[in-house]
């Protein structure tokens, strides 16, 4: 039985380890799934932006090229830049030219953005601006801050794509007078295009929603399967524990009826004794009751209430089984009590046999009832119990040790079952003992008529 109990405890410990291992693996699987979904999100986001950038590039180039600076006398932008540099054009007129001219150059770009919004639901934000206009010979920047030449109604907040373009202009001017002067006007022009899809998150999630649902279903299925397995395992462990308790109880309780029947058989062989047959009947009934515990479905729901004479029979059977022990018994219980007869027999006999096991030659048993409380007192003149042992004597498989040597035989189940039965009836048991003098067990169990 000790080995089986050790195995049961080991199973529980192993299950805890399995829970920790599963939790670690589940978190690892969750991390992998989240990482996979995140990477998929990034890929889808890049794909959308790539397609948008490719579609916009033609139209943004039209806007920029419309203002591009080329080496040409007819280039209006070059003319305006040179005029502004030589102070032939004021700043306000120059900036007005740059801004107003976008209206015509950005029409195709606006049409494309509106079409994609209507067709695919893309809210595209675009901003094109001159970031630098630099006169190269003297490195003078003609604009103090970027000048926006095109911008959608939906403003760019966090640009996902930023592209930069660069142009250079050059022209030669000749002036006549007393001498000829060649003056080269060269300009460096930088443009910057910013693109953002305002509803990119909803677009990407719409693309990968099926993947997210599949991942959630997979994780939920693994978790539910594990919970179902753990519940079944716990249920089986409880069943195993109950089975162990029943088997332990029966194996312990079989000893007294079998010993009593052996003695009764020897007594009958020696000669007829009219008290022997009722004793045999009681022990057979006891064995049948123990057997029924192995088949709970066959156990009757109603208990066998204990009668006043049953207490006498308990002590008589013990006196017959242990003729060398002096049993002193006093019973003042007047009538039937609402306790199971078999359980009360287990309590009385286990306490008495525990006294006998530890050297008692005289066992005194008193049973009484008052104010709806059953009282059982068992005292002996045995070897007694050390005070440090008292807190452990009701533990399962615990046996009192002397110098780390078990001096008495047994499984250490008798007092354990006494405690379990008393607790099930909401009672209490008190123990007092002195080494070399003896022990006293006092039990009080409440009841209602």
* Model confidence, pTM: 0.49
Centre a 10 Å sphere on the Cβ of residue 316 and count the other Cβ atoms it contains: 17
Residue 28: its H or E element:
helix 2-66
Q: Tell the residue number behind the tokens 């009947």, with chain if given.
A: 281
In this prediction, residue 39 carries a pLDDT of 93
pLDDT in tens, 251-281: 656 666 777 777 777 666 666 666 676 777 7
pLDDT in tens, 317-365: 888 888 888 999 999 988 888 898 888 988 998 899 888 888 889 999 9
pLDDT at residue 299, rounded to an integer = 45
Q: Which pLDDT belongs to residue 405?
A: 36
Low-confidence ranges of the chain (pLDDT < 50): 1-10, 69-74, 178-182, 297-300, 403-408
* CA separation for the pair 57, 284 (Å, rounded): 101
Q: What letter would DSSP give residue 397?
A: T
* Owner of token pair 């660069």: 166
């Amino acid at each position: 039985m000790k080995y089986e109990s050790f195995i049961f405890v080991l199973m529980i410990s192993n299950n805890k380890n399995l829970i920790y291992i599963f939790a670690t693996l589940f978190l690892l699987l969750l991390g992998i799934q989240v990482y996979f979904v995140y990477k998929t999100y990034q890929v889808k986001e890049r794909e959308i932006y790539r397609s948008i950038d490719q579609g916009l590039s033609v139209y943004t180039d039209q806007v920029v090229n419309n203002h591009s600076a080329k080496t040409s006398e007819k280039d209006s932008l070059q003319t305006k830049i040179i005029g502004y540099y030589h102070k032939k054009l004021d700043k306000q007129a120059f900036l007005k030219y740059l801004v107003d001219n976008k209206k015509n150059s950005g029409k195709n770009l606006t049409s494309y953005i509106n079409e994609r919004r209507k067709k695919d639901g893309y809210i595209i934000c675009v901003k094109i601006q001159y970031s630098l206009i630099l006169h190269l010979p003297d490195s003078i920047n003609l604009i103090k801050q970027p000048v926006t030449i095109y911008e959608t109604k939906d403003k760019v907040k966090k640009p996902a794509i930023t592209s930069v373009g660069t142009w250079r202009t050059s022209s030669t001017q000749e002036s006549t007078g007393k001498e000829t002067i060649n003056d080269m006007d060269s300009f460096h022009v930088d443009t910057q295009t910013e693109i953002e899809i305002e509803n990119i998150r909803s677009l990407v999630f719409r693309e990968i929603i099926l993947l997210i649902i599949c991942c959630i279903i997979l994780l939920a299925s693994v978790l539910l399967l594990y919970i179902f397995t753990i519940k079944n395992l716990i249920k089986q462990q409880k069943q195993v524990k109950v089975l162990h308790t029943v088997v332990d109880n029966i194996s312990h309780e079989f000893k007294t009826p079998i010993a009593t029947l052996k003695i009764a058989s020897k007594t009958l062989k020696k000669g007829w004794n009219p008290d022997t047959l009722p004793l045999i009947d009681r022990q057979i009934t006891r064995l049948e009751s123990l057997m029924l515990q192995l088949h709970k479905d066959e156990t009757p729901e109603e208990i066998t209430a204990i009668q006043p004479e049953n207490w006498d029979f308990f002590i008589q059977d013990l006196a017959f089984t242990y003729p060398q022990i002096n049993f002193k018994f006093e019973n003042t219980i007047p009538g039937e009590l609402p306790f199971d007869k078999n359980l009360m027999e287990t309590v009385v006999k286990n306490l008495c046999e525990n006294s006998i096991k530890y050297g008692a030659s005289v066992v005194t048993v008193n049973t009484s009832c008052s104010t709806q409380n059953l009282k059982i007192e068992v005292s002996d003149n045995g070897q007694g119990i050390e005070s440090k042992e008292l807190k452990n004597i009701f533990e399962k498989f615990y046996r009192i040790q002397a110098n780390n040597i078990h001096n008495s035989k047994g499984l250490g189940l008798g007092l354990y079952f006494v405690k379990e039965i008393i607790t099930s009836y909401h009672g209490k048991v008190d123990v007092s003992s002195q080494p070399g003098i003896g022990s006293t067990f006092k039990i009080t169990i409440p009841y209602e008529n």
